[in-house]
Structure 1
């Protein structure tokens, strides 16, 4: 029996997309052509492959069982047919699409762009924000590299651990007792620093959660899929609750854009897109209410600096790349401001 191996590529696309139309778009074929191929596949396998359930198509148990092996075979076949040549970075002309969390882009983006510019001047990097939900962009070739916090569920996607991040708890230096442990923190009922969990888009609930608080320290961030205006809504809700707000922003946005330099401004503008205006407006809301905004550079997991300082915007050093600053330093600087109130209505920069 002779078999048309092109049917494997069509079947792979059908199982990936879950529809004839989606597979046709992916393969750049007409929907009738893919539909005819599906009919041939059904006759060869004796299985329906995809069955209609309401408005969607669902893969049969047989299709689900062969899906992973099928995709691997198609990828291996494409690799065998791909031209084998030695990679020359100096002459490479290509655009790579990278999907990073904004913190990852800020931390490694400048160094990555510098290395690419020096070693592969014809290469262009296109940064995308991290998606709020799982996507098939890697499998479909729409994204070349994705850096996130979780391992991919699809077995055919290769992954490697690049590093680890730490979560930190900042507490006043005069907290009663000896060393703070997780058990002591969970059991404490008289600490002056209290964690609040509330929906920033529900101003009434946030105000209730902040009732009795004199100062609010916020490191509110967003991820892909959060929607527009989340930061501004959070800032307004915190301000309306009546507490003094100490807000963490990004160096290179708003009033620190000029101090950051043109390269950093363009990098942030390219990556943040519409998020940039949300960040700027949120900071303006806090400043307008007499709060303090800390514009930190790329964050690093380094020990608390003994020489840490808090600079005004005018004192900020001009650099091609913004200096990294330890998370511990930023947390300590915000706590210092909560205690002293030295910079009301101002934007300042924490440095190691």
Structure 2
């Protein structure tokens, strides 16, 4: 038992050093070898704790006193709860997944690792998740409202590609939603004008929404669709609360555009912004293993109560007997 305890301590120290290494050298993106090593160490820890638990059963069979049997049973359940928590951590690290994706109002995105900007993942790839079509139906926020962050709400439609079933979910800035062992939380939003580019002869050259981060009055940059040149965009409100956009390039060419106005010439072509929408950025994380953690905590609570119930009763009775 002593050697098993020492081996468990050594493995826990290695896990702690591994976590320190991850936080120090990989604060944002954890490489695959980290999750593989952590999963292996967690599996070894769970096996050691489980073996220690098995060794306690002979003591339980030899115990004659009823209270001692219950105390030993509580100790066994306590170790099982620890093993369950470790297994939950092992299960979580296997399927650990964190990614970003961006949706514009009316846009549908297939929720898969290919379409995500993946930040970190565990040894088991997230491709085993059943793919869903995510559609951002609407964003309920007023661009002119200075408290738009507090009032931000959105409606998302989830469509299961396998079963064909769909459901609509209402979410908000601090109200995440869950689906298919994942959780999505709004972390960013912005303004998406619809750019329509035409030649001087009226031929359509390009059209599409451009996601801009203009909230709070800060400028943003985007690549001009036809040449890849960086264009700076600034948004402002006039005295009539009408939104205007100022577009400029690095050479100093600039125009002022109001959504809904007639086309204006910019960089040798005609630009029109007939409409605009909002876009949202979501953080997607895996929730696999979280329910096992809750079950493990519940088992530990029951075990602690059972383990120390008669010990506390005995101490209390002894204290009362010692009082004159």
**Fold shared per TM-score above 0.5:** no
TM-score (structure 2 length as normaliser): 0.24
TM-score (structure 1 length as normaliser): 0.22
* Structure in which a larger fraction of residues adopt strand: 2
Determine which structure has more spread, i.e. the larger CA radius of gyration. Answer: 2
